[in-house]
Structure 1
Amino acid sequence: MRAVVMHETGGPEVLVLTDIPKPEPGPGQVLVRIEAIGVSVGETRMRAGAYPLQLPMVLGAEAAGVVEKLGDGVEPSLMDARVVMVTGGAGSYAEFIAVNAGNVTKVPDGLSAQDAVASAAPGALALALLHRAGLRGGETVLVEGGSGKVGGYLVRHVREFGVERIVATASRKPVEGADVVLDHGNPDWTDDLDPLDVAFDMAGGETTRRVLGKLKPGGRMLLYGALTAQPELDPVAVQGQGLQVIGCGGPLWFRQCLDVHYPEFVDLAARGRTHLQPVADVLPLDLAAEAHRRVAASAGRILLRPNLGLDS
């Protein structure tokens, strides 16, 4: 089969289309013929050497496709099902992948493979955050990156949990559904914050400390990213104000997202109850390097499709 193999870290040119053996599903796994692949900013950082990797490797954490073969012990109803999946961090820049059956979610009729892979991960993460926040009626909530993939879903659905006031940040972009939008390109944007009940923090660094200072006594902050740096926390302020700092990550969080919120989101999407991420472009596997260049340049949601140009 064809796959994009990386033998060394570096620029996009290290992503090389290669013929490698087609995998076989082991016990508890399914073999998926991939129809669409998500390309993320995190993968561009992995390729550049930001994290330790075992090389050579095939990048790719998100994909959608059709189950073609079952390993021992897998539920027979998955055979021939269209699914969206997370791989555990690698392997989806390819025509086929063998993945744990517990990491796939069936895609309902009415939702394409491209829409599923473009939207499922950020949508499911947003739903998981909203459920974890313990939101109550009448609260004021901050959503950082309100025009982004996860932030957009948070703003879209947080009102359903009884929130009264939504403050979002964006970089000179409108955020539909927010009551107030602050420009996070301004280094002093936190000075304009009114007291908050809940903050969804993905910026990290000094921003975390500043936003914590805007929480009301007993307020909650959900940490789900560190875009700029590791979050700065003041334990004296946290304790003195009775604040809750909730870390959203790790194996238990990941399992909850897969088991509950992926199915929840794809069902909402198939029924038209949420928005779908716009796809800026779909490229063939042999243009994986170009996909990385565009994602690094913030060119929107870019997907790869293994059979693009080979359908006829």
Structure 2
Amino acid sequence: MSVSASTISKAVRIDKHGGPEELKLVDVEVGEPGPGEIRIRHKAIGLNFIDIYQRSGLYQLPMPLQMGMEASGVIEAVGEGVSHLQVGDRAAYASQPPGSYCELRVMPAKCVCKLPDAISFETGAAMMLKGLTAQYLLRRTLPQGGLQAGDFILFHAAAGGVGLIACQWARALGLQLIGTAGSDEKCALAKQMGAAHVINYSTEDFVARVKEITGGKGVKVVYDSVGKDTFDRSLDCLSPFGLMASFGNASGPVAPFSPGILGPKGSIYVTRQTLFSHITTRENTQAMADELFDMVVSGKVEIRIDQRFASADVALAHRSMEERKTTGCSILTL
């Protein structure tokens, strides 16, 4: 991407919901930040499944829509009332509203965090949405009595961007993470990155394997971003009073179900989580980010960027994610 003037930015936009072919690279005007806003020039941009949900129409948003939920870059201008960021700061974010697929943007400052010097721009762009998601799941979305070292948890899509971070974070917490993935290669990657046990759900019955691994007791919590294909059977993996934490729909949305089924399965709990409920305040966002930054800088969590796409190849990037051809994190390069 190249910039012809300080107020013009290349950006990826859709004019209607649909497939990857709807993603268009366009010129947009970028003005000055207002109160509570900043202007940031991006260095790298994160790619996430939520981008696909928004593009396809699973999540309905007003059109035209500038795509993208996370990025890193350098602060160019600061609006009135913003005190935690200054011009020239390295920064990264996962934030509403969408719009990160661009060179330059004005956006709310509350979810933008200073990026430690020890973390590169590419890592910063790849880690914010997925890393903050792993943080709120393992640290804030907990079953009755919480989680202690040695407890079993089930994490679907363990070789994805969130999954590989969660594998490492769970290992650091002493948890026995059982990770599922759709191929032996992805299972091996999850095991390498900290999963205590792995299950190839394309060739194995994951419910039976979970019961075998846990001595028939089941797990305290299931973290599920797959959705339709795994939800029902995941309920059968839980121990009594266990927690089913749904946080995505990679295979499609979960069908409606009767709460009455939860009692006979052990009076289990079900929750549907989203990152954006957790980062509604500047204080929450910073506290979560500080814990994430500490895990990465300490080396306890490595952010794997397994795919890099040029911005002009954003449609290919979306197809690769939809076709389950990616592992770890994916970014757009500028």
Per the normalisation by structure 1, the TM-score is: 0.86
- Which residue in the other structure is 2:5 paired with? none
Distance 1:147 1:44 in 2: 18
- Which residue in the other structure is 2:178 paired with? 167
**Which consecutive residues of structure 1, in runs of 5 or more, have no partner in the other structure?**
307-312
Seen in structure 2, the aligned counterparts of structure 1 residues 226 and 299 have a Cα distance that, compared at 3 Å, is closer
- Which residue in the other structure is 1:157 paired with? 169
Quote how far apart the aligned CAs of 1:185 are: 1.6
- Which residue in the other structure is 1:309 paired with? none
- Which residue in the other structure is 1:264 paired with? 291
- Which residue in the other structure is 2:316 paired with? 290
Distance 1:9 1:218 in 2: 40
**Which consecutive residues of structure 2, in runs of 5 or more, have no partner in the other structure?**
1-7, 212-217
1:53-80 Cα distance to aligned partner (Å, 9 max, x none): 3222211111111111011111164321
Kept in 2, the 8 Å contact 1:22–1:96? The answer is yes
Distance 2:330 2:11 in 1: 17
Question: What SS does the aligned partner of 2:110 have?
Answer: helix
- Which residue in the other structure is 1:247 paired with? 272
- Which residue in the other structure is 1:137 paired with? 149
Distance 1:302 1:139 in 2: 30
1:227-248 Cα distance to aligned partner (Å, 9 max, x none): 3331665533433523232332
Equivalences for residues 110-121 of structure 1 within 5 A: 110-121=118-129
Distance 2:222 2:239 in 1: 11
Equivalences for residues 56-67 of structure 1 within 5 A: 56-67=64-75
Distance 1:277 1:71 in 2: 34
Kept in 2, the 8 Å contact 1:109–1:270? The answer is no
Seen in structure 2, the aligned counterparts of structure 1 residues 4 and 135 have a Cα distance that, compared at 3 Å, is same
- Which residue in the other structure is 1:304 paired with? 332
Distance 2:149 2:331 in 1: 38
Which one-letter code corresponds to 1:122 in the other structure?
A: K
Equivalences for residues 1-312 of structure 1 within 5 A: 1=8, 2-75=10-83, 77-132=85-140, 133=142, 134-163=146-175, 165-171=176-182, 172=184, 173-174=187-188, 175-176=190-191, 177-186=194-203, 188-194=205-211, 195-205=218-228, 207-228=230-251, 229-230=253-254, 233=257, 235-240=259-264, 241-249=266-274, 251-255=276-280, 258-283=285-310, 285-300=311-326, 301-306=329-334
Percent identity, aligned pairs only, is: 28
Q: CA RMSD in A?
A: 2.5
Distance 1:271 1:139 in 2: 24
Question: What SS does the aligned partner of 1:154 have?
Answer: helix
Per the normalisation by structure 2, the TM-score is: 0.81
1:206-245 Cα distance to aligned partner (Å, 9 max, x none): 6323222232222222222233331665533433523232
Distance 2:245 2:125 in 1: 25
Kept in 2, the 8 Å contact 1:135–1:161? The answer is no
Distance 1:291 1:180 in 2: 30
Question: What SS does the aligned partner of 2:230 have?
Answer: helix
Distance 1:207 1:282 in 2: 30
Which one-letter code corresponds to 1:305 in the other structure?
A: T
Distance 1:211 1:95 in 2: 41
Which one-letter code corresponds to 1:166 in the other structure?
A: L
Kept in 1, the 8 Å contact 2:37–2:109? The answer is yes
Distance 1:247 1:11 in 2: 26
Question: What SS does the aligned partner of 2:171 have?
Answer: helix
Question: What SS does the aligned partner of 1:33 have?
Answer: strand
Quote how far apart the aligned CAs of 1:286 are: 3.2
Quote how far apart the aligned CAs of 1:34 are: 1.0
The total of aligned residue pairs comes to 304
Which one-letter code corresponds to 2:242 in the other structure?
A: G
Seen in structure 2, the aligned counterparts of structure 1 residues 292 and 226 have a Cα distance that, compared at 3 Å, is closer
Distance 1:295 1:226 in 2: 13
Quote how far apart the aligned CAs of 1:280 are: 1.7
Kept in 1, the 8 Å contact 2:207–2:236? The answer is no
